[in-house]
Structure 1
Amino acid sequence: MDNQTPLVLAKSLVEGKIQKSWLIVGSYLENGSSLLDTYLLITNAMYQIGQWWQENKISVADEHLATATCDYVLARLQFTLNKDKFPSKRALLFCVEGEEHYIALKMLASLLEEYRWEVKNLGANLPLPYAINSIEKWKPEVVGISISQVHLLPSLKQYINEIESLAYPPTVLVGGRLLQHYDLTGYGSTQTVFINKVEQFEQWLLENALKQSLVSGEKI
């Protein structure tokens, strides 16, 4: 990845240039980059935008415009992906209540679908009772939770405790910007999987797919 490409994309997102942002991402994928590398490009651009916001170089309005532009790019990218694979497992994704940063969930959803998962993305700011109700009704094998704000960590612990106390608990995956800076393992159990990089998430997906292929006899 060209070190300047995430910076160029970040500037385009902040300026709300939808078509330019899509051309940067689309051409990156068309030139032979994997879906993972393409999402790393977007992730690095969004991290740059977050840094600009922390340094007061951009406003909240700029950050919101960048998020909306990125949302469009991700939706268009997802539309271009191959959806012909028959899903084999279920994953439910959401942000804890109070968490509005949902872009990472959209990228994780696409990666899961690439590995033949059926995905329901419930998005931002999901209260715990609704999360539990959705899990009990749909019975996913995996629940992915995104969190990026320190003050929501007590809520994260409560979510994990209640989910893992269900009669047939799913595997809980936790991701988000906080994991880049903090060790959150104390907020989960030994069964909780904490993902601090997109590459780590794909490695988990690959290992899961390998285990499944050994059981079913299918090739991955």
Structure 2
Amino acid sequence: MDRREELARAVVAIQFERWPALYARYGEDGRERCVEDVGFHLLYLAEAVASDSPALFREYVAWVKILFAGIGIPDEELGESLEILRDVVAARVDPAAAARVCACVGEGLSALPGLPREAPPFVRSDAPLGALARSYMDALLAGDRRRAAALVTEATTTGATVPDLYLHVFQPSLREIGRLWQTRAITVAHEHFATAATQAIMGQLYPAIFAAERRGLSMVATCVGGEQHEIGIRMVADFFEMAGWDSHYLGANTPANSIVHTLRERNARILAVSATITAHVGRVAALIAAVRAESWEQPPRILVGGYPFNLVPDLWRTVDADAFAPGAQEAIAIAERLVGPAAPDRAAPDRAAPDRAAPDRAAGVA
């Protein structure tokens, strides 16, 4: 039993002892699910404490409140569970760590009553290409990838640009599907299908993406290990391509030494790293530390992004990055400011296909 499971079982034991009705309601299977839930609380709490960012834990509590509302768990039960978790953990760590634990959990508890019980929709009819985004999402939820692809093809013939499709169709549709899963309106299978289908459909757009004039600039894009949402950083890599960079998208679970090798091999000026959940902030810091530890003639500049970095404006400093970008378009401007201007590489041949991992090219999924 690892430390996290040990702590989670200690928290749940107190819960079930304090409120015997819980066992009557959930039973032994329910107890195990409670242990799993508290284990996730501890995982996110550990990252917030390590980053000294109570806001990270507050936003996690906001997400859990919506999730629990969808499965009928009262807010009071969540709050009492967090109080027990705080007391159990604080009693088992040193005073400095205990103070951070109390600060992080306290931030979540203070915010809990005022946090929403549902998230606003991401697909809206009044947004740019809102009607297309709705139709595209409906096709994905119906399992109709051909219809979704046809909608995209039709949109390109009537003037929609690739950036339009990425920002106003793919991104809000996938975020809305994630919201529907969070509220238990759909299953995780729906979410996985939508992501895989969208990645395959993005492949249809590569002739336009890779048509930009080369500028003699190279970048590497990756996620940290364990990420299940790689499509955001893949979109970022494609935006770099459209801006004339040579992008090298590595996806997730690429070892740090392989990332370093690719940076050297491709003479990359930028390493873009994404994390979509706060539990992975520590992995971003570890990857950056590994890159910084190498000897470089011209060290790559490191750009981070993703949900936790959007939540806490200075979190990028905590992980020792060079900068943070809230989105793909902003990432281009920030990267070019970091490395300085470069002239177009008129001698470079046009690339007909993306530099992607073989499984990605074959299956259209990361």
Shared fold, TM over 0.5 = yes
CA shift, 1:60, in A, is 1.2
For 2:306, which of 159, 171, 176 is the aligned residue? 176
Does residue 5 of the first structure (1) align with residue 132 of the second (2)? yes
How far does residue 205 in structure 1 lie from its aligned partner after superposition?
5.9
Instruction: Give every structure 1 segment of 4 or more consecutive aligned residues whose post-TM-superposition deviation is greater than 4 Å.
Output: 205-210
In the alignment, structure 1 residue 137 sits paired with structure 2 residue 278: no
Deviation at 1:74, TM superposition (A): 0.6
Between the aligned partners of 1:209 and 1:153, the Cα distance in structure 2 is: 25
After TM superposition, the score normalised by the length of structure 1 is 0.83
Q: TM-score scaled to structure 2, two decimals? A: 0.52
What code does the residue aligned with 1:171 have?
Answer: R
**Are 1:204 and 2:334 an aligned pair?**
yes
Contact 1:17-1:69 at 8 Å conserved across structures: no
Note the C-alpha offset of 1:12: 2.0
How many pairs are equivalent?
214
Pair 1:19-2:146 in alignment? yes
Task: Tell me, in whole angstroms, the C-alpha distance in 2 between the residues paired with 1:25 and 1:206.
Answer: 30
In structure 1, the gaps of 5 or more residues are 215-220
Identify which of 249, 255, 279 aligns with 1:121: 249
**1:96-133 deviation line (CA, Å, top 9, x unaligned):** 11113221233222221122211211112222232223
1:43 CA drift (Å) = 0.9
Deviation of the 1:209 alpha carbon: 9.4
What CA deviation, in whole Å up to 9, does each residue of 1:37-95 have, x standing for no partner?
22102111111111111111111111111111111111111134453633511111111
> Using the alignment, how far apart are the partners of 2:212 and 2:329 within structure 1?
24
Task: Determine which structure has the larger helix proportion and give its number.
Answer: 2
Q: Compared with structure 1, are the counterparts of its residues 146 and 16 closer, same or farther at alpha carbon in structure 2 (3 Å cutoff)?
A: farther
Structure 2, unmatched stretches of 5+, are 1-127, 345-366
Equivalent residue for 1:194?
324
Once the two structures are overlaid, the 10-residue window that deviates more, 172-181 or 150-159, is 172-181
TM-align CA RMSD: 2.7
- Preserved CA contact (<8 Å) 1:13 1:67: no
SS at match of 1:199: helix
- Taking a change above 3 Å as real, the CA distance of residues 70 and 131 of structure 1, as seen in their structure-2 partners, is same
Work out the CA distance in 2 between the residues paired with 1:126 and 1:3: 36
- The structure that is strand-richer by fraction is 1
Distance in 2 separating the partners of 1:196 and 1:209: 18
Query: Quick one: structure 1 residues 82 and 143, their matched pair in 2 at CA, closer, same or farther if it must change by over 3 Å?
Result: closer
| Alignment match, 1:218 | none
